[in-house]
Structure 1
Amino acid sequence: MATNDQLKALIKSHADGDDPQFYSVAMQVAAKAARAGQERFSQELRDMVDDLRRKTVQSARIASVVPVSQPRGELASLLTVTYPDARLSDLALVGDVSDRLQHVLLEQRRRGDLARHGLTPVRRLLLVGPPGTGKTSTARVIAGELGLPLFAIRLDTIITKFMGETAAKLRMIFDALAETKGVYLFDEVDALAGDRMAGNDVGEVRRILNSFLQFLEEDTSDSVIVAATNHPELLDRAIFRRFEVVVPFPLPDEDAVRTVIKNRLANFRLSNLGWKRIMGAARGLSHAEITVAAENAAKRTVLAGAEQIRTDDLVAALEDRRGPGFHGDENTQP
């Protein structure tokens, strides 16, 4: 059963509206019950916590549906909105990327504690790395974990040949960002933030960058801004100073390769796979490429009337992803 300290922590976290702390203490109680042999009670408590978490996310989504969530007029052409339910555990991340993201989420969830000490949570992240390594998926995860809408900025409709129009559209985005709390994704941000010192740069590009930098500097909203790029070398150095956290997304290591494949092929038997051959075939491929290869091997297995994934099929599918001109698709990350 719960200790006196745990009971007090449960009551305090509930009174403070600190849901993450409430869930954490409840899970500690469940773990203690399991160690004491109370398996049924432990599982019931875990199920209750999971149910409460789902209801909290759903309530947050409903509360977030304000006019900008159904953008109209010109704003509708500048962004799209979704309500992801992705979780950090859904991603196969390399190195300390998971730790960095967990800390960002913790700061967001404990923003009240930080505010009492005159501090603000991290709310601007710059994600850099090759295509297909999970940058776009990370924006969906941040939105899902925080129960916020995800607004994807359509840079193709923002950037025009007339600098004044582009600046006005950027202003609309930042006004929406201040009005409605959410996660705002600027994918392929190098289109807005190219190096001003580049030899082939033109005045209009520099002015667009300056407007973007100014809007970032002036923004004091509670929204989370996520910018992503496959080409950090193209970014102006001033952009890096506008983001509190820069997260590099490398290609998957062996642990991540194994996780991606197991997650995607969870409905198949994998007991006899030759992982050494698979790792060799997957070397240098992105998360997205490995996901597609796993799906292709799964289709071959289904059409053959089998349930066991064959190493040969998976290796062949991975090697096919090395075809000429293939660069992966970020949005296929699991």
Structure 2
Amino acid sequence: MAGSGEHIKALVRSHASGDDASFYAVASQIAAQAARKGHNRLAQDIKQTIDASRKQPIAGSVTAIAKPRGDLAELLTATYPKVGLRDVVGPQALLTQIEQVISEQRQRAKLVDRGFAPAHRLLLEGPPGTGKTMTAGVLAHELGIPLLTVRLDSLLSKFMGETAAKLRAVFDAAEQQRAVFLFDEFDALGADRSGNDVGEARRILNSFLVFLEQASPESVIIAATNHRAILDRALFRRFDLVIEYGLPDRSEAQKVVRRRLGPLAKGLHFRSVSTSLDGLSHADLVNAAEAAAKRALMRGHDHVEPEDLDPALAARRAAAGV
């Protein structure tokens, strides 16, 4: 029993640290011990479970990242987005850039074998609500890997004074586990620190630049910002690709609304509300569509009319100050 107790403690320790190799090694020792004691059926069941688990990369290999532990638990939030490339509404140039990143990542082994790195360091810039965070989710979904969002608030406040070390932990995780790592609202970290502010903030930015330069192409590192103009100029040459986002034109705005309404958009004509679409972000349009849908459903209708959509758009315009 003492031996079994030690094995159980070893299993717990390896699981807590996300060490899959040690976890499976201990499990194999338990199977061997069971066999020695004549519990052949139990030993066989354990071995079969180990073999089956090893053949499931998502269930096995993302243990340390999908549920970040220790310091990483306070720095990263893990999700598995369901939004795909087909859900992106934007100009063809934007879609082409996203498709190119996905294609290079899917064929990264071929590129690396020939001495080329796939695009894996992306800077997304544009107004709020225009699809930057969504793009990170799309890449994660299309590549079948988790999205790890870096909590910059914790990084820059709770860990101030040791931020560089925490950044290294994040980039080490990116090397050990394939995922999309999103630094949202990146201007909090990457703003230009020239002038009198040359202390800790400058060291943090310099550390980020070094880590970004050395980042493994196995993971995708994304920095998203609403304020490109305030970013340190040294950042731009470190990224493989800078993708610019803007407010949707009228045609794209109609597509965003129709997609969110789904069947409720049947027969909807935008002529009377077309000008109300101008100046709103993708997120504003989605919110307006949802408000219009609820208004129509509560009236007992199975489709949205302009009189449902118009006040919803007006409310969003007022909230956005358009």
TM-score (norm 2): 0.78
- In the TM superposition, residue 59 of structure 1 has moved relative to its aligned partner by 5.6
- C-alpha distance in 2, partners of 1:294/1:275? 12
Asked whether 1:205 is paired with 2:201, we answer yes
1:268 partner letter: L
Change in CA separation of 1:136 and 1:162 when aligned onto 2, cut-off 3 Å: closer
- C-alpha distance in 1, partners of 2:280/2:85? 21
1:192 partner letter: L
- C-alpha distance in 2, partners of 1:168/1:129? 29
- C-alpha distance in 2, partners of 1:265/1:166? 44
Query: CA offsets per residue over residues 41-92 of structure 1, 9 Å max, x none?
Result: xxxxxxxxxxxxxxxxx96633542323221122101001111222100111
The residue number in structure 1 matching 2:296 is: 301
| Local SS of the residue matching 1:71 | coil
- C-alpha distance in 2, partners of 1:98/1:201? 38
Match runs of 1:87-166 below 5 Å: 87-160=84-157, 164-166=161-163
Asked whether 1:182 is paired with 2:182, we answer no
- In the TM superposition, residue 164 of structure 1 has moved relative to its aligned partner by 3.4
- In the TM superposition, residue 161 of structure 1 has moved relative to its aligned partner by 7.7
Change in CA separation of 1:90 and 1:64 when aligned onto 2, cut-off 3 Å: farther
TM-score (norm 1): 0.76
Change in CA separation of 1:61 and 1:84 when aligned onto 2, cut-off 3 Å: farther
- C-alpha distance in 1, partners of 2:157/2:173? 20
- In the TM superposition, residue 168 of structure 1 has moved relative to its aligned partner by 1.4
Instruction: State the Cα RMSD in Å.
Output: 2.1
- C-alpha distance in 1, partners of 2:197/2:86? 41
- Checking the alignment, whether the CA contact within 8 Å between 1:274 and 1:311 is kept in structure 2 is yes
Change in CA separation of 1:218 and 1:89 when aligned onto 2, cut-off 3 Å: same
Q: Which entry has the higher C-alpha Rg, 1 or 2? A: 2
1:225 partner letter: I
Q: How many corresponding residue pairs?
A: 268
- Please list every run of 5 or more consecutive structure 1 residues that lacks an aligned counterpart in the other structure: 1-57, 329-334
- C-alpha distance in 2, partners of 1:101/1:145? 11
| Local SS of the residue matching 1:306 | coil
- Checking the alignment, whether the CA contact within 8 Å between 1:64 and 1:148 is kept in structure 2 is no
- Checking the alignment, whether the CA contact within 8 Å between 2:277 and 2:313 is kept in structure 1 is yes
- In the TM superposition, residue 269 of structure 1 has moved relative to its aligned partner by 4.3
- Checking the alignment, whether the CA contact within 8 Å between 1:61 and 1:83 is kept in structure 2 is no
The residue number in structure 2 matching 1:281 is: 276
| Local SS of the residue matching 1:228 | strand
- Checking the alignment, whether the CA contact within 8 Å between 1:195 and 1:235 is kept in structure 2 is yes
The residue number in structure 1 matching 2:220 is: 224
- C-alpha distance in 2, partners of 1:188/1:81? 17
Match runs of 1:32-111 below 5 Å: 61-111=58-108
- In the TM superposition, residue 200 of structure 1 has moved relative to its aligned partner by 6.4
The residue number in structure 2 matching 1:266 is: 262
- Checking the alignment, whether the CA contact within 8 Å between 2:133 and 2:184 is kept in structure 1 is yes
- C-alpha distance in 2, partners of 1:304/1:59? 48
The residue number in structure 2 matching 1:250 is: 246
- C-alpha distance in 2, partners of 1:115/1:193? 29
- C-alpha distance in 2, partners of 1:105/1:224? 10
- Checking the alignment, whether the CA contact within 8 Å between 1:296 and 1:317 is kept in structure 2 is yes
- C-alpha distance in 1, partners of 2:238/2:321? 29
- Checking the alignment, whether the CA contact within 8 Å between 1:282 and 1:319 is kept in structure 2 is no
The residue number in structure 2 matching 1:22 is: none
